[in-house]
Amino acid sequence: MLDKSSRRAYLVATTKYKEVGHGELRGWLLVANCYTKETQLLQDSNYIKHFMRNLVLGVGLTPVKDTLVVATFPIPEAKNQVGVSATIILVESHAGIHTWPELEYARIELSSCAHVKKEDFESIIKAFFVPYKLEVEAFEWD
């Protein structure tokens, strides 16, 4: 069950969705392949948590209270390194990140029934991870 703030956000998101002429469910999926030399950031669960909150708020979406989950896992091939996975449930759908520091790589996905600007998604990733290579694809789903 949604808390009062999340219920209000859900009603706002649903109203916005209907106002732009959507009579049926449609949405967008943004997928980023991010390569960075900043591998210490890819292992920092607190940094990843901070990134996820800023990502969803920065593109104008609404997190559902207490749904951000972050986990670390050891990398057998790379001593003293951990990967990080995080997900967050949104009123509009969900977002996730998985990191592979030994490959200097993170994959970030954002699914939303509200339109998200690809440029905003990219700029937040660039600000947090300073990638030397960033590939972003956007897909519309229905």
**Of the residues 98, 111, 112, 123, which is catalytic?**
98
> Does the active-site annotation cover 113?
yes
Of 34, 111, 112, 113, the catalytic one is 113
Given 93, 112, 115, 123, which residue is catalytic? 93
Cβ–Cβ under 8 Å, residues 30 and 136: yes
111 is catalytic: no
In contact, 122 and 134? CB cutoff 8 Å:
yes
Q: What is the dihedral of CA 18, 23, 25, 26, to 10 degrees?
A: -80
Alpha helices in the chain (DSSP H): 4-19, 39-42, 45-58, 118-129
Catalytic residue list contains 98: yes
Question: How many whole angstroms from its chain centre is CA 21?
Answer: 26
CA distances from 8 to 60, 87, 89, 128 (A): 15, 22, 16, 30
Please identify every residue annotated as catalytic: 93, 98, 113
